[in-house]
Each structure stands twice: as structure tokens, then as C-alpha cells.
Amino acid sequence: MANILAVDDEKAVLALIKNILQKDGHVVTVVLNSNEVLQMQLGKFNLILLDVMMPGIDGFSLCRDIRDKVDCPILFLTAKSMENDIVVGLGEGADDFISKPFGAKELRARVNAHLRRESRQRRDVLCLGNIHFDLSGRKISVCNKPIPFTKGEYEICEFLAENRGQVFSKEKIYESVFGIDGESDSSAIVEHIKNIRAKFNKFQVSPIETVWGIGYKWN
């Protein structure tokens, strides 16, 4: 059972989300007005669903405002499929997207996959050259300087690092990291990798290599 927050300006969507996720035993809090979220105690939630297009504070802005206050997965609900939306959303700290309209099976699969990922048992550390993984704290540092990765970015790094030398397609990375078939949503991996590389580049390290026509690997 998990505590889940769903924010959307459509009552019908919130009712659907609540009905679907309660069947898995989750406690679902729904909010129509995005402005109210900033006044809430967010630390109790294990996962947050945010609609992108909302009056007042839109989903991207809200994600940016709360990302430093919560350590749980944030998933966007969006009717848009343009690549630019994915770039913006992941850059604000989101972990994944669910496209509207969505079915019960897809919503349950996405949510439960992210919750399982959060509850995994972990080892303590992994050191690869100057790059240090705090596996229990889910943090990465280079020469003892922390890098502010989002949860999704961190998980991709950990997966590639623990399987270093192996080449994975973006679909396989999505499936392995988020726990579900990523064939239709693997574009999110491309944007995550861009963000990861930009952050590593600030520390003059480039551990992730593109294998053209195949995918990515950790050197």
C-alpha cells in the first residue's frame, strides 16, 4: 500500500485515477486546484501524479516548486506527445510520463513499477574511478562532489554502471529501470541521457557511451 497524490483539473480524471489505484490498496489523495499543493505536507506521499496542463500553476512549474521537498517519484499526466514536452518535464525533475487517455492496466503498471523500484533492497556503495555511488542514499558524486541527479536519472546511471560494458537499447533501459515495457515511451530515456551527460560534463567525466544504432553503455 502506498500514499499517492494525484493533481488534475478534471474531476473525471481524478475519479478514474482514484478508482483504479484504490483497487491495489493504495491511499489516493486527489487535488483539483494545483495551488493547494504548495500548502500540503508532501513528505507522506510515496508517488505523485501531476497533470501538465492546469490553470494556475501548471504541472511543470509545480514539479519544479516541489521537487526539492519530496524524494518520491513524480509522473506527469499529459495529452501531449511532442518531444519538447518530454525535455521540459524531465528537466524539471519528473521521472516518467503517462499519456492521456490511459487505461487502467497502463496506469496500474506504471505506478506499481515505480513503487517497486523505490522499495528495493540496496547495497551500500559502488565506486567506478572518480565516480562514487551511494546506493542506499541513491546519490552520485565525482571526486566527493555530489551531482544533483533526479530519481530517474540516478536509476539509469545505476543500471548502466552495474552492468558496465554491456550495451542496452533505450527500450531495454526503460523496461529494466521502470519495470514495464518501454517500447512506446523510450524517448524519455533519450532525454534522461542528455540531462545525465550535461551534469557529468560539468565534472569533466563522460561515463555513458552511445553505441550508434544499438543504444548506450557505461564505459
pLDDT for 35-69, tens place per residue? 999 889 898 899 999 998 899 899 999 998 998 88
Among residues 155, 51, 53, 68, which one has the least CA distance to residue 113? Answer: 155
The burial class, CB within 10 Å (0-12 / 13-18 / 19+), for 42 is: middle
- Residues paired with residue 5 on neighbouring β-strands, in sequence order: 29, 48
Q: Which domains does the chain have, with CATH numbers?
A: 3-118 (3.40.50.2300), 125-218 (1.10.10.10)
Model pLDDT, residue 210? 94
Cis peptide before 101 (omega within 30 of 0): yes
User: What CA–CA distances, in Å, run from 57 to 21, 68, 211?
Assistant: 25, 17, 40
Strand order in the sheet with 139-142: 125-128, 131-134, 139-142, 145-147
The parts of the chain modelled with pLDDT lower than 50 are 182-184
Model pLDDT, residue 184? 47
**Residue 35 near residue 56, CB atoms below 8 Å:** yes
Alpha-carbon span 121 to 186, nearest angstrom = 26
